[in-house]
C-alpha cells in the first residue's frame, strides 16, 4: 500500500488505524494537527483544514523533493475544502484562503514558519474586498501575505518591508498601520512586490496552488533552520521528528469591532491559579498578539465585550483541560461574533504553576497524586529556590520601570542590548541581563546565556515570556516606559538613562526593574502546593534524602527542606574560620610535638561547639561527621605568596626607623621564612593523591583523636539537654581495609574513654567513604570493619577516570563534552558504565557479608536528578546533597520509585 500523506481534520480515525495511540497520532500529525483533529471530533469549532504528515516532511528533507503522490493528495484535500465551504481556492466571488502552519510533535513556539492568507492575488483581493465589503481588510490581508511569503518562503529580510510601513506611517503622520487607508495599502502591496522581486529575484506568484506548494515546502525546510536546530538542542528535542504542515481555512479576527483574536490559558500559567487567563486584541490577526507590537487586553475584558463568546471559550477550555488533564494554551479567533479555536496544546508554565496546577488537579479529581509527581520536573522544584530580591533596608524601593512579571525570580546583570553580545559577555564570565525591544527566535542563544530578560514590548504570551518560562530565566516583558535605543546603545525611561554595560536588577516575580545590582536572597520553601507535592513524594520514594551541611545554619535549612539527617559534614570547613586558621596553620607547620599538641587542644572547644550545634538542629536524626580529609597545603598560604611576603619584609627592614620595629620585622621574617620552608617540605606533586584522608589521620593521630573527642563530648553534653543524638563518624579516602582497621581501633579507644564515665548511652557508628576504586573492589573486606558506607563520587569519579576534579570544569573535559567525546561531564551526572559499576560491585560484595549495611552517597551527584535514579536502581539507602537540592532529590527519588517500582 502506498503511504498516505494527508489527513483531513475529520480523518482522525484513519490516522488512529495506522499508528499506535495518541503518541503515534502526535508523531504523525504533529501536536497542532493532532489537536485540531481531536477538537474537531469533540465538536469544538475548528475551521476546516487538513494536515500533511511529518513523514512527508522527513522524505522531503531527505530527497529534497516532495514524495510521490503528496501534491495530488494536497490538491484533492483543497478540493474537499472548497466543496465543504462552497468557495473556490483563490478564486470565485468569495475566494477561499488558507493558512499554512508548521506543527512538530513537540511544540517549538515561534521556531518554525507560518504563512497566512495563501490564495490571494491581484484578482482575488478585489473579490475579497467586494465580498466582505471591507477593502481595507482585503488589502491589509494581501500585504501581509506578500510580506510573509517574501520573508518565509523566499528568504527576504523583514527590514525592507518594515521600512516601507514605517515610512508610510511617517508620511501620513499616523502611529499605527490601522490608520493607513486602502489606497496606502494598495501602494504598499505594490512596493512589497517590488521588494520581493528585487531581493529574491522571483516575482510573487499569482497562482494560488503555486503559493501553496511553495509555502508547504518552506515549512518543511524550516525544520532545519539554524534557530530551530539551536532550540532543539537547548530543549533536548530530537532532530529526526520533522514537522507536519497544517493547511487551514482562514478565519479573520480583523473584520471589525465584532472580530478579535487572542490566546487563552485554561489556568494562569505563571501562578497556576485556576481561571481562564490570556490576552486578546479586537480587530487584529493572530501574529499581532504574539508579536506584542500592540498592547493587548486582558482576557477578563472579553467577558464584558463579548459575553457569549467568552462563555463558550470558558466551556471549551474546561472540556479540553478535562480531556488532556493538563493546562491548555489555546489560540482563538472571533470572526464577526463567531468563535473559532485555531490550536490547543499543553501550556508551558512556570515552576510555581506546574506545581500548583498539578496539586490542584489532584484535588479536582483530574489526576492521581502519582501523576502529579511525574508531571513536575525536578528542575521545576529547583526553580522554587530561584533568588528573590532581598527586602530593601528602609522598606521602600522605587523601580526604574515596571512590566509584566512573566517568569519568576530575580536576576542581576549588566545590560546587554543584543543577544550576541549577551552570549559573548556571559562566555567571559559576566552576568548579563538581555534587554531588547522585544525578542525573536534568533535571540534564544542570548536569552539562554543571560541571567534574566527584559523587553519593552510584548505580553504574557510573547516569545520572550514563553522562552524565559521554559528555560527558567527570570523575565520582565512589556515594560512600555522603556525605550531601548539600539543606535545609542542605551535604555531610557523618562529622564533616566542606562548605558549598555550598566548594572540592572529585574524581578520577574513582581515585574519591577531596578537600577544597579541589588542584593538577592534565596526564598523559603513556603509554597503550600510544593509542600504537599513533596509530602506525596516522601510517601513514594525508597531513597532517603540527607544533606551535606557543615554549619547549624545550613543544617537548619536542610531540615526545613526535608532532609532526614546530615550525610556529610566536612569538618575541615570549620578550620577555615579566621579565628582558627592561625591555630590550624601552626598545628600543621610546627616541628615541635608540644606545640602541635597545644594547637590541637586549642581547637577542641571550637569543634565541640560546632558539633553541638549540628546535633541540636538534627535532633533525632543521624549526623555523619567526616574526619579531616584534604591535603594540608589547602590550609597554608601558597609558596608564591610567602615568597612575596619575605621580600616585602626585607624591603621594610631596610627602611625601619627604630630598634623595636627592626626586632619585630626580624621576627616576622624568621616566621615567614620558616613557613616557606615548611610549605616546600610539605609540598606534593599530586596532593589529591597524597597525604590526605585516612592517611593523614594515621600519621597525625592527635588531630583526629581530638575531633572524635569533640564529637563524643558534645554528643554527651547535648544529650544531657534532652536532644536525641546519633553521631556517625566517617573515615575518608580508605584504599585498604587495614587503614580502616587501625583507624577504627584507635578512635574507638577515644570513644570509650569519653563515654566510660557517662551515664547516658550514645548511639554511634564508625563507617567509611568509598571513593577510591580499590576500596570499591575490596568492599567486602572493608565492610568487616565498617558500620556504614558512603560513596564519595567526586573522588571516585576523579580516580576512576583519572581526571583531576579540580581542573575538570575549566580544562580539557569541557572540550571533550563540546566535541562529543563524552556525552556529559561525569562530575555532574554519574557515569553508569564505570563509576556506577564500581558502586554496584561494592554494594553487592559488602551486602553479601552484611545484608543490612547502610549505604549512601554524598558526592555532588546526590543532587542530580538523573544520577538519583541511578543510585536508586543501585539499591542505595540514601543520597546526600546540598540543602538547596534536598527538595529536588525528594521529588527525583519519588519519580525513580514510580518509574521503576
* Window 843-862: contact mask with ligand PEP (x via CB under 6 A): ---------------xx---
User: In terms of Cα–Cα distance, which of 325, 313, 327, 343 is closest to 272?
Assistant: 327
d(C-alpha 176, C-alpha 178), whole Å: 5
d(C-alpha 798, C-alpha 793), whole Å: 8
Q: Which of 57, 540, 633, 858 is catalytic?
A: 858
- Other beta carbons within 10 angstroms of residue 495's beta carbon come to 5
Which helix or strand (DSSP H or E) is residue 6 part of?
A: strand 6-8
d(C-alpha 256, C-alpha 898), whole Å: 53
27 belongs to the binding site for ligand PEP (CB under 6 A): no
Q: Do 734 and 772 touch, CB atoms closer than 8 A?
A: yes
Could you tell me the smallest distance in angstroms from the CB atom of residue 880 to ligand PEP?
A: 8
3-state class of 853 per DSSP? Answer: coil
Residue 463 annotated as catalytic: yes
**With respect to ligand PEP, which residue has the nearer C-beta, 134 or 795?**
795
* Window 762-781: contact mask with Mg ion (x via CB under 5 A): ---------x----------
629 belongs to the binding site for ligand PEP (CB under 6 A): yes
Using CB under 5 A, which of 329, 382, 554, 795 touches Mg ion?
795
856 belongs to the binding site for Mg ion (CB under 5 A): no
* Residue span binding ligand PEP (CB under 6 A) among the ranges 329-337, 397-405, 554-562, 793-801: 793-801
3-state secondary structure 768-789: EEECCHHHHHCHHHHHCCCCEE
Could you tell me the smallest distance in angstroms from the CB atom of residue 619 to Mg ion?
A: 28
Could you tell me the smallest distance in angstroms from the CB atom of residue 562 to ligand PEP?
A: 21
Alpha helices per DSSP H over 271-427: 286-291, 300-305, 307-324, 351-363, 369-375, 378-383, 419-427
Could you tell me the smallest distance in angstroms from the CB atom of residue 560 to ligand PEP?
A: 23
**With respect to Mg ion, which residue has the nearer C-beta, 562 or 693?**
693
Q: Which of 380, 386, 463, 633 is catalytic?
A: 463
Cell for 578?
579566621
Could you tell me the smallest distance in angstroms from the CB atom of residue 568 to ligand PEP?
A: 6
Using CB under 5 A, which of 67, 792, 865, 883 touches Mg ion?
792
**With respect to ligand PEP, which residue has the nearer C-beta, 626 or 709?**
626
Instruction: Mention every residue, 6+ apart, whose C-beta is less than 8 A from residue 537.
Output: 373, 890, 891, 893, 894
Residue 881 annotated as catalytic: no
831 belongs to the binding site for ligand PEP (CB under 6 A): no
Instruction: Mention every residue, 6+ apart, whose C-beta is less than 8 A from residue 769.
Output: 626, 693, 730, 731, 732, 733, 734, 775, 789, 790, 791, 792, 795, 858
**With respect to ligand PEP, which residue has the nearer C-beta, 561 or 791?**
791
567 belongs to the binding site for Mg ion (CB under 5 A): no
3-state class of 303 per DSSP? Answer: helix
**With respect to Mg ion, which residue has the nearer C-beta, 27 or 793?**
793
**With respect to ligand PEP, which residue has the nearer C-beta, 38 or 858?**
858
Q: Do 640 and 680 touch, CB atoms closer than 8 A?
A: no
570 belongs to the binding site for ligand PEP (CB under 6 A): yes
* Residue span binding ligand PEP (CB under 6 A) among the ranges 451-459, 504-512, 660-668, 791-799: 791-799
* Residue span binding Mg ion (CB under 5 A) among the ranges 90-98, 190-198, 786-794, 848-856: 786-794
d(C-alpha 160, C-alpha 195), whole Å: 7
Alpha helices per DSSP H over 42-121: 54-63, 70-85
883 belongs to the binding site for ligand PEP (CB under 6 A): no
Of residues 661 through 720, those in contact with ligand PEP by CB under 6 A are none
Strand order in the sheet with 260-267: 297-298, 274-282, 260-267, 328-335, 338-346
Q: How many residues bind ligand PEP (CB under 6 A)?
A: 10
- Binding at 858: pick from Mg ion, ligand PEP, none (beta carbon under 5-8 Å per type): ligand PEP
Could you tell me the smallest distance in angstroms from the CB atom of residue 634 to ligand PEP?
A: 11
d(C-alpha 755, C-alpha 124), whole Å: 97
Using CB under 6 A, which of 85, 132, 200, 794 touches ligand PEP?
794
Instruction: Mention every residue, 6+ apart, whose C-beta is less than 8 A from residue 630.
Output: 572, 692
Of residues 757 through 786, those in contact with ligand PEP by CB under 6 A are 771
Which helix or strand (DSSP H or E) is residue 670 part of?
A: helix 659-682
d(C-alpha 829, C-alpha 647), whole Å: 46
Burial of 418 (0-12, 13-18, 19+ CB in 10 A): middle
**With respect to ligand PEP, which residue has the nearer C-beta, 259 or 548?**
548
3-state class of 370 per DSSP? Answer: helix
- Other beta carbons within 10 angstroms of residue 474's beta carbon come to 29
278 belongs to the binding site for ligand PEP (CB under 6 A): no
- Binding at 438: pick from Mg ion, ligand PEP, none (beta carbon under 5-8 Å per type): none
633 belongs to the binding site for ligand PEP (CB under 6 A): no
Could you tell me the smallest distance in angstroms from the CB atom of residue 582 to ligand PEP?
A: 23
Residues that bind Mg ion (CB under 5 A): 771, 792, 795
Catalytic machinery residues: 463, 858
Residues that bind ligand PEP (CB under 6 A): 568, 570, 629, 771, 792-795, 858-859
Amino acid at each position: 500500500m502506498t503511504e498516505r500523506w494527508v489527513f483531513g481534520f475529520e480523518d482522525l480515525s484513519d490516522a488512529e488505524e495506522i499508528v499506535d495511540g495518541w503518541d503515534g497520532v502526535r508523531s504523525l500529525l504533529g501536536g497542532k494537527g493532532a489537536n485540531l483533529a481531536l477538537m474537531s471530533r469533540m465538536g469544538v469549532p475548528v475551521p476546516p483544514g487538513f494536515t500533511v504528515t511529518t513523514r512527508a516532511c522527513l522524505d522531503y528533507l531527505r530527497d529534497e523533493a516532495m514524495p510521490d503522490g503528496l501534491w495530488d493528495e494536497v490538491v484533492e484535500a483543497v478540493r474537499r475544502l472548497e466543496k465543504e465551504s462552497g468557495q473556490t481556492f483563490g478564486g470565485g466571488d468569495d475566494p477561499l484562503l488558507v493558512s499554512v502552519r508548521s506543527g512538530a510533535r513537540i511544540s517549538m513556539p515561534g521556531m518554525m514558519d507560518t504563512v497566512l492568507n495563501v490564495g490571494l492575488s491581484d484578482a482575488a483581493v478585489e473579490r475579497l474586498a467586494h465580498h466582505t465589503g471591507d477593502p481595507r481588510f482585503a488589502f491589509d490581508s494581501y500585504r501581509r501575505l506578500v510580506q510573509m511569503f517574501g520573508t518565509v518562503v523566499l528568504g527576504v529580510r523583514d527590514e525592507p518591508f518594515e521600512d516601507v510601513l514605517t515610512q508610510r506611517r511617517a508620511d501620513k503622520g499616523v502611529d499605527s498601520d490601522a490608520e493607513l487607508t486602502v489606497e496606502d495599502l494598495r501602494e504598499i502591496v505594490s512596493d512589497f512586490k517590488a521588494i520581493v522581486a528585487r531581493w529574491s529575484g522571483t516575482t510573487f506568484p499569482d497562482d494560488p496552488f503555486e503559493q501553496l506548494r511553495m509555502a508547504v515546502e518552506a515549512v518543511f525546510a524550516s525544520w532545519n533552520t539554524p534557530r530551530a536546530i539551536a532550540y532543539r538542542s537547548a530543549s533536548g528535542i530530537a532532530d529526526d521528528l520533522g514537522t507536519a504542515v497544517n493547511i487551514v481555512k482562514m478565519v479573520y479576527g480583523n473584520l471589525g469591532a465584532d472580530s478579535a483574536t487572542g490566546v487563552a490559558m485554561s489556568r494562569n500559567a505563571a501562578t497556576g491559579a485556576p481561571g481562564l487567563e490570556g490576552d486578546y486584541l479586537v480587530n487584529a490577526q493572530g501574529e499581532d498578539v504574539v508579536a506584542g507590537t500592540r498592547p493587548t487586553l486582558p482576557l477578563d475584558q472579553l467577558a464584558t465585550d463579548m459575553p457569549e463568546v467568552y462563555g463558550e471559550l470558558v466551556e471549551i477550555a474546561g472540556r479540553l483541560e478535562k480531556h488532556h488533564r493538563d493546562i491548555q494554551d489555546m489560540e482563538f479567533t472571533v470572526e464577526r461574533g463567531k468563535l473559532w479555536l485555531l490550536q490547543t496544546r499543553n501550556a508551558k508554565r512556570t515552576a510555581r504553576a506546574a506545581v500548583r496546577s498539578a496539586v490542584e488537579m489532584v484535588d479536582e479529581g483530574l489526576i492521581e497524586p502519582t501523576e502529579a509527581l511525574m508531571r513536575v520536573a525536578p528542575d521545576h522544584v529547583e526553580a522554587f529556590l530561584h533568588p528573590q530580591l532581598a527586602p530593601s533596608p528602609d522598606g521602600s524601593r522605587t523601580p526604574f520601570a515596571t512590566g509584566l512579571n512573566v517568569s519568576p525570580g530575580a536576576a542581576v546583570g549588566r545590560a546587554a542590548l543584543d543577544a550576541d553580545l549577551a552570549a559573548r559577555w556571559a562566555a567571559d564570565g559576566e552576568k548579563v541581563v538581555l534587554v531588547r525591544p522585544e525578542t525573536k527566535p534568533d535571540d534564544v542563544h542570548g536569552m539562554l546565556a543571560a541571567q534574566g530578560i527584559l523587553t519593552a514590548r510584548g505580553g504574557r504570551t510573547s516569545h520572550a515570556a514563553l522562552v524565559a518560562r521554559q528555560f527558567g530565566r527570570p523575565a520582565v516583558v512589556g515594560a512600555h516606559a522603556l525605550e531601548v535605543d539600539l543606535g545609542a546603545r542605551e535604555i531610557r525611561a523618562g529622564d533616566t538613562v542606562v548605558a549598555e554595560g550598566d548594572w540592572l536588577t529585574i524581578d520577574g516575580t513582581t515585574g519591577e526593574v531596578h537600577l544597579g545590582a541589588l542584593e538577592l536572597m534565596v526564598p523559603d520553601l513556603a509554597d503550600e502546593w510544593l509542600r504537599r507535592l513533596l509530602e506525596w513524594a516522601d510517601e513514594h520514594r525508597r531513597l532517603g534524602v540527607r544533606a551535606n551541611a557543615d554549619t547549624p545554619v545550613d543544617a537548619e535549612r536542610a531540615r526545613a527542606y526535608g532532609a532526614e539527617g546530615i550525610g556529610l559534614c566536612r569538618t575541615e570547613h570549620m578550620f577555615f574560620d579566621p579565628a582558627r586558621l592561625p591555630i590550624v596553620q601552626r598545628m600543621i607547620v610546627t616541628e615541635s610535638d608540644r606545640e602541635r599538641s597545644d594547637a590541637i587542644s586549642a581547637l577542641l572547644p571550637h569543634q565541640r561547639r560546632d558539633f553541638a550545634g549540628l546535633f541540636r538542629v538534627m535532633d533525632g536524626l543521624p549526623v555523619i561527621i567526616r574526619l579531616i580529609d584534604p591535603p594540608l597545603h589547602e590550609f597554608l598560604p601558597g609558596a608564591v605568596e610567602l615568597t612575596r611576603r619575605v621580600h616585602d619584609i626585607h624591603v621594610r627592614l631596610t627602611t625601619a626607623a627604630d630598634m623595636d620595629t627592626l626586632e619585630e620585622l626580624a621576627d616576622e621574617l624568621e616566621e615567614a621564612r620558616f613557613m616557606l620552608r615548611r610549605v616546600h617540605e610539605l609540598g606534593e606533586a599530586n596532593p589529591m593523591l597524597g597525604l590526605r584522608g585516612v592517611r593523614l589521620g594515621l600519621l597525625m593521630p592527635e588531630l583526629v583523636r581530638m575531633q572524635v573527642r569533640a564529637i563524643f563530648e558534645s554528643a554527651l553534653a547535648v544529650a544531657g539537654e534532652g536532644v536525641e543524638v546519633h553521631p556517625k563518624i566517617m573515615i575518608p579516602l580508605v584504599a585498604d581495609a587495614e587503614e580502616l582497621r587501625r583507624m577504627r581501633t584507635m578512635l574507638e579507644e577515644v570513644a570509650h574513654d569519653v563515654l566510660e564515665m557517662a551515664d547516658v548511652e550514645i548511639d554511634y557508628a564508625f563507617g567509611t567513604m568509598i571513593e577510591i576504586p580499590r576500596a570499591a573492589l575490596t568492599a567486602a573486606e572493608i565492610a568487616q570493619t565498617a558500620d556504614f558506607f558512603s560513596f564519595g563520587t567526586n573522588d571516585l569519579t576523579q580516580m576512576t577516570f583519572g581526571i583531576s576534579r579540580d581542573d575538570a570544569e575549566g580544562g580539557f573535559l569541557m572540550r571533550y563534552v563540546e566535541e562529543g567525546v563524552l556525552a556529559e561531564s561525569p562530575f555532574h551526572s554519574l557515569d553508569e558504565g564505570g563509576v556506577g559499576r564500581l558502586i554496584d560491585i561494592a554494594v553487592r560484595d559488602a551486602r553479601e557479608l552484611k545484608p543490612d549495611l547502610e549505604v549512601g552517597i554524598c558526592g555532588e551527584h546526590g543532587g542530580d536528578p538523573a544520577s538519583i535514579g541511578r543510585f536508586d536502581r543501585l539499591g542505595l539507602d540514601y543520597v546526600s546533597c546540598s540543602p538547596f537540592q534536598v527538595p529536588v532529590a525528594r521529588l527525583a527519588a519519588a519519580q525513580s520509585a514510580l518509574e521503576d517500582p
